[in-house]
Chain A
Amino acid sequence: MKRTSLILASVLLLIAASAPAAAAEDAAAVLAGVDERTGGTLAPKDMQSNMVMTITQGSSVKVREIRAWTRNNAGKNDDRLMKFVSPADVRDVGFLVLSDDSMYIYLPEFHRTRRIASSNRKDSFMSSDFSYDDLGTGEYARSYEPALQEENAGAWVLDLKRKAGSDKLYSRIVMTVDKRMHMPVKTEMYDEAGRLWKSAEQAYASIDGYWVMTAVKMTDHKKGSSTTLEFKDMKVDKGVGADLFTERSLVRKIQG
C-alpha cells in the first residue's frame, strides 16, 4: 500500500511539475506560430497598401494617408518604406526602415535624407496612438518570454513578459491569438509600472492564401484616444525587390 501510495504520489508530482513546462512549451509554440505568420516564412514575402489612419480624441477626428511597402525578411526585422500623402505639411515625406533597424527620413522640402536614431521608435507615429515600433512586424519571441494564460475553444491567450536587455516599449503584452488564423486579434500592452497602456484589436482578410491584417484599432488608455489604421488596396507577393528599400526609392516619386 505504502509502495503504491509512493508511486502515485511520485506520478502526481511528476505531472504537477511537468504541467507548467508543457504550458510554456505550448505558449512558445503558439508565439512562434504568430511570428511565422506575421513576419516569418508563412507571412507574405511582400505587401503594399494605402494606409488610412483615423485619429480620434473626443470630438476631434484627424485623418492621415500613407502609402506603404513591406518586404519580409524572415528572422529579421522587415524592410519598410512609407510615403506620406496627407496632411499637406508632410506630403511626400518618406520613411525607410531597414531590417538592421537603420531608419531614414526624407524631407522633400530640402531634398534631404537623414538617418534617425532608433530611439525615435518610441515616438508617436504621425501624432497617432501608434509608436513607430508598433508598426513593425512582431518577432515577439525575440523580445518576449511567453506563458499561456488561458485557452478556450477559439483562442489562446498569451502573457508575454519582456526579456531582460530588450529595448521594446512594453514591459508586458497580453495577446489573444485566434486558433483558426493563428493570428493575434487582440493585444493589450502594459507600461513599465505594469499598468494597461494601450490595447489593439486586429481584423484580417484572406488574401492569396495569407491572413493579412486589413485594419487595426489602437486605443491609448492613458490619453483616452484611439487610432484606426485601415490597409486599403492591399497587395501581397508582388515581387517587391530589395532595391525598393533604398535611399533611391525614398527620394523619388513612386507611381502605381
Chain B
Amino acid sequence: MKKTAMFLSVGLLAASLAFAAETTGPAAPEITGRVRLFSSFYAADNPDGAFFTHKAGQFAFRRAEVRLKLSGAVNDRVSYGVRFDAFSYPGDLLQAGQFPESAFLGSPASSEHFELALYEGWVKVGDFLIEGLDLTAGKQRISWGTADKIGVVDNLNPIDFANFLSFDPDYFFERRPQTAVNLEYYPGGSFKIQLVGLLQHQVSPLPFGYSGLVAKFFPMDEYLVTRGWDDTAIKTAWGARVAGRAAGLDLGVSYYRGNLTLPYLRSMDAGLVASGVFYYPRAGILGLDLAGEAGGLGYWAEAAYVMPEKIDGSVSFPIWIGDGPVIYTKTFPLFEEGFWKYVAGADYNFGGGFSVNIQFLHGFFDEVDYNAGAEDTFGFRKGMFFGEPGNYVLGRAEYKFARDTVKLKFGGLFETTSNGSAFVIMPEAEFRVADAFNVVCGAFAAVSGDREKTKFGAFRDDGQIYLGFKLDF
C-alpha cells in the first residue's frame, strides 16, 4: 500500500511538474521557525487523582521545542513546505504503557531525550492538469469545515489527544497533519470542490502513559489495540467537500469515509488474565458547515452525522458449569446506527481592544453514541472520556492594550450533562516583549464539578499554572 501510494504521488507530481509551465522563476527558499519553552506546575496536592498524581508545586509538564520550516515556490504554480518539529524532554505524562502513544510529551521524571518529527512536507501545484485545480500532495494540514479549532466536521486531521492533556494552550484542541493527496477545484467565484484521499490510516497521538490511565477506568492486565483495517487504497480514509457562498453565507457539505482516529473499547475478556481490545471504528460522516455575520456579529456552525460501521462488542467471562469453567460471551451492537455532533459559535469585537467568543458544543471529539448494550456492559456514560456525547459551552473574552503588546484572556468551559456539570477557567496573560517574541502566563483550573461524574470535574485537583516563551524567526 505504501509503495503504491508512493508511486501514485510521485507519478502525479511528475505529471503536474510537466504541465507546470514556468512563468516566474524559482524564488529563494525561506527558512522560518520557532523556539518555544513551556512549563507548567500543579497548584495543589492530588495523591489519588484519576489522571495525575502530584504534589503542589510539582512540575506538570516541561518542554522545549524548535520548529524549522523551509518553504518556497519553484514558480508561480508550484510551491512547497517542509516543517520539522524537535522536542526535548519527551517522556511519560501519565505512566508508560502499550498504546501507540505519542512521544511528544514530557515530564520531569524522564531523563533528557530528544524527538524529531516531520510535521509537514508537501508540494502544491496550481492549475494541475486543468485550470482551477490545485493539487497538494504530502503530509499536510487539510482545510476542512469552518469552525475555529473546536469542530466536529474535520475528521481528516486527527485531534492531538497527547497534547490535549498537557493543557498547553498552543496545542489545546489542535489537530495533526496527515499524508494525503488533496485536490481542490475552483470552478469560479466562491465555489470549491475538494477531494482528499489519505495515504494512510490516521490515528490521534495519545499521551505517554495512556494505558495507565485506561487501567484506572477498565481494570485489565493486558490491552490490545488493533488497527483492524484492510491496508488497501480503497479502505483508507477519504473525504469530499463542496463549498460556496450564497446570500452572504459560507456553506459547505462534506462526506468523510474512514476510521475514527481514537481507539475505542470493543471487547473485554474477564478470564484469568483480564484483557481488553481497543480498535479504531470505521464510519461515514456527513458534515454540514456554515459561517456568516449579522450586524458585526460573526457566527459559524458545524453539524456531523456520524454513521459508524455495524459491529458487535463483546464481553467474555468464565462461568462454572458442572466441574469446570465455560467461557460465556455476551455480544451486543457497539454503537448506535447514527448520531449527531454539532457546534455553533459567535464572536464580536467591541472595539477598544475588547472581543468575545462563545460556542456551544454537543459531542466532544472523543465522544460517541453507544448502543445501550455497550453502555450497560462497559459502563460508558455521559461525563467521561470516551463516553456518550455531552454538552459544553466554551467562551473567551479578550482585552488587548498598550498597542496590543498586552493581551488578557479569560477562557471558560462549562460542561453540562444529565450526570452533572463542571466549570473550568483558563485565564491567560500574554506580553509581546518585542516583535515575534511573546511571554505567556496562564492557568487551567476546574473550579467546580463532580470528580466522578463529569469529564472536567475529574481535574478538580489538577489545577495548573503555566509559563511559556515563544520566539518566531
User: Which residues on A are within 8 Å of B, measured CB to CB?
Assistant: 55, 57, 62, 87-89, 91-92, 100, 102, 110-120, 122-124, 127, 167, 169, 223, 225, 243, 246-248, 251-256
Say yes or no: is B414 at the interface (Cβ < 8 Å to chain A): no
Residues of B within 8 A of A87 (CB): 435-436, 472
Interface string of B64-88 (1 = CB under 8 A from A): 0000000111011001000000000
Say yes or no: is B349 at the interface (Cβ < 8 Å to chain A): yes
Residues of A within 8 A of B376 (CB): none
Residues of B within 8 A of A89 (CB): 435-436, 438, 470, 472
Can you list 8 A-B pairs, Cβ within 8 angstroms, ordered by A?
A: A89-B436, A111-B140, A115-B293, A117-B296, A119-B296, A119-B350, A120-B355, A253-B71
> Is there contact, CB below 8 Å, between B349 and A117?
yes
Residues of B within 8 A of A115 (CB): 146, 250, 291-293, 298, 300
Q: Main SS of the interface on chain B?
A: strand
> Is there contact, CB below 8 Å, between A127 and B76?
no
> Is there contact, CB below 8 Å, between A253 and B79?
yes
Residues of B within 8 A of A111 (CB): 140-143
Find the A residue at minimum CB distance from B357.
A117
Q: Which one, B140, B250, B300, B403, contacts A127 given CB within 8 A?
A: B403
Say yes or no: is B297 at the interface (Cβ < 8 Å to chain A): yes
> Is there contact, CB below 8 Å, between A124 and B404?
yes
Q: Which 8 A-B pairs have the closest CB atoms?
A: A117-B298, A119-B296, A122-B351, A89-B472, A111-B141, A87-B435, A127-B404, A119-B349
> Is there contact, CB below 8 Å, between B24 and A88?
no
Find the A residue at minimum CB distance from B404.
A127
Say yes or no: is B229 at the interface (Cβ < 8 Å to chain A): no
Residues of A within 8 A of B302 (CB): none
How many angstroms from the CA of A91 to the CA of B79 in the assembled complex?
A: 16
Residues B2-31 near A (CB distance < 8 A): 24, 27, 30
Find the A residue at minimum CB distance from B437.
A89
Residues of A within 8 A of B404 (CB): 124, 127
> Is there contact, CB below 8 Å, between A62 and B435?
yes
> Is there contact, CB below 8 Å, between B79 and A114?
no
Say yes or no: is B184 at the interface (Cβ < 8 Å to chain A): yes
Say yes or no: is B322 at the interface (Cβ < 8 Å to chain A): no
Say yes or no: is B55 at the interface (Cβ < 8 Å to chain A): no
Say yes or no: is B453 at the interface (Cβ < 8 Å to chain A): no
Say yes or no: is B172 at the interface (Cβ < 8 Å to chain A): no
Q: Which one, B141, B186, B347, B435, contacts A110 given CB within 8 A?
A: B141
Say yes or no: is B248 at the interface (Cβ < 8 Å to chain A): yes
Residue picked from A87, A110, A112, A113, most chain B C-beta under 10 Å: A112
> Is there contact, CB below 8 Å, between A123 and B351?
yes
Interface string of B341-383 (1 = CB under 8 A from A): 0000001111111010000000000000000000000000000
> Is there contact, CB below 8 Å, between B140 and A117?
no
Rounded to whole Å, the gap between the CB of B389 and the closest CB of chain A is: 25
How many angstroms from the CA of A253 to the CA of B75 in the assembled complex?
A: 10
> Is there contact, CB below 8 Å, between A112 and B403?
no
> Is there contact, CB below 8 Å, between B300 and A117?
no
Rounded to whole Å, the gap between the CB of B169 and the closest CB of chain A is: 14
How many angstroms from the CA of A251 to the CA of B79 in the assembled complex?
A: 11
How many angstroms from the CA of A110 to the CA of B173 in the assembled complex?
A: 12
Q: Which one, A88, A116, A123, contacts B472 given CB within 8 A?
A: A88
Rounded to whole Å, the gap between the CB of A218 and the closest CB of chain B is: 13
How many angstroms from the CA of A86 to the CA of B438 in the assembled complex?
A: 15
Residues B427-473 near A (CB distance < 8 A): 435-436, 438, 470, 472-473
Interface string of B316-348 (1 = CB under 8 A from A): 000000000000000000000000000000011
Q: A110-B141, A256-B24, A256-B76 are contacts. A117–B347 as well, Cβ < 8 Å?
A: yes
Q: A251-B143, A252-B134, A254-B76 are contacts. A118–B296 as well, Cβ < 8 Å?
A: yes
Residues of B within 8 A of A110 (CB): 141, 174-175
How many angstroms from the CA of A248 to the CA of B183 in the assembled complex?
A: 12
Q: Which one, A118, A120, A223, A243, contacts B403 given CB within 8 A?
A: A223
Say yes or no: is B396 at the interface (Cβ < 8 Å to chain A): no
Q: A117-B296, A118-B293, A246-B186 are contacts. A255–B75 as well, Cβ < 8 Å?
A: yes
> Is there contact, CB below 8 Å, between A88 and B436?
yes
Residues of B within 8 A of A92 (CB): 71
Find the A residue at minimum CB distance from B120.
A111
> Is there contact, CB below 8 Å, between B349 and A123?
yes
> Is there contact, CB below 8 Å, between B250 and A117?
no
> Is there contact, CB below 8 Å, between A102 and B248?
yes
Residues of A within 8 A of B250 (CB): 102, 115
How many angstroms from the CA of A117 to the CA of B294 in the assembled complex?
A: 8
Residues B287-312 near A (CB distance < 8 A): 291-293, 296-298, 300
Residues of B within 8 A of A246 (CB): 186, 189-190
Say yes or no: is B245 at the interface (Cβ < 8 Å to chain A): yes
How many angstroms from the CA of A55 to the CA of B405 in the assembled complex?
A: 13
Residues of A within 8 A of B71 (CB): 92, 253
> Is there contact, CB below 8 Å, between B435 and A117?
no
Rounded to whole Å, the gap between the CB of B296 and the closest CB of chain A is: 3
Rounded to whole Å, the gap between the CB of B125 and the closest CB of chain A is: 10
How many angstroms from the CA of A87 to the CA of B348 in the assembled complex?
A: 26
Say yes or no: is B126 at the interface (Cβ < 8 Å to chain A): yes
